[in-house]
Amino acid sequence: MASVILISVYIALSSLAAYLTDLCLRRWPRTARRAAGLRKYWLTAYTLLSLIPMAGAFLPDSPVKFALQAAGNVWLGFYLYYGWLLLMLLLIAAMFRLASGGRLARNWHGGMLCLSLVAALALLGYGLVHAQNTVVKRYDIAVDKPGEDMKVVLLGDLHLSVNSRLATTQRMVALVNEEQPDVVLIAGDIFTSSYAGLSHPEQYAEALRGMKAKYGVYAVYGNHDVEETLFGGFPISPVSQAFRSAQIEQFCADSGFTMLNDEIVTVGGVQIAGRVDGEKAGDGTANRMTAAELLSGVDERLPVVVLQHEPKQFKALKEAGADVALCGHTHAGQLFPGNVVIPLFNENAWGYERVHDLDTVVTAGVGYYGPPMRVGTDSEISVVNLIFKG
Which residue ranges form the domains of the chain, and what is each CATH number? Answer: 2-130 (no CATH), 135-388 (3.60.21.10)
SS (H, E, C) 340-377: HHHHHCCCCCCEEEEECCEEEEECCCCCCCCCCCCECC
Residue 345 exposed, middle or buried by CB count within 10 Å (0-12, 13-18, 19+): exposed
| Average pLDDT score, the chain | 90
Answer yes or no: pTM beyond 0.85.
yes
Residue ranges of alpha helices (H) inside the chain are 2-27, 29-32, 35-58, 63-100, 107-130, 166-179, 201-208, 246-254, 291-294, 314-320, 338-341
Q: State pLDDT tens for residues 239-258.
A: 888 999 999 999 999 999 99
Q: Which helix (H) or strand (E) holds 298?
A: none
Are 290 and 316 in contact by the 8 Å Cβ rule? The answer is yes
Q: Is 294 helix (H, G, I), strand (E, B) or coil?
A: helix
Are 96 and 73 in contact by the 8 Å Cβ rule? The answer is no
At 236 the pLDDT is: 79
Integer Cα distance of 98 and 107 in angstroms:
17
Positions of the chain with pLDDT under 70: 1-7, 28-39, 100-107, 232-233, 390
Spell 274-296 as b/e; 16+ CB within 10 A means b: bbbbebbbbeeeeebeebeebbe
DSSP code for 232: T
Residue 267 exposed, middle or buried by CB count within 10 Å (0-12, 13-18, 19+): middle
At 309 the pLDDT is: 98
Are 311 and 346 in contact by the 8 Å Cβ rule? The answer is yes
Spell 27-56 as b/e; 16+ CB within 10 A means b: bbeebeeeeeebbeeeeeebeebbebbbeb
At 114 the pLDDT is: 84
At 275 the pLDDT is: 98
Integer Cα distance of 322 and 305 in angstroms:
6
Residue ranges of alpha helices (H) inside 180-263 are 201-208, 246-254
Q: How many CA atoms lie within 13 A of 22 on its CB side?
A: 17
Integer Cα distance of 257 and 261 in angstroms:
12
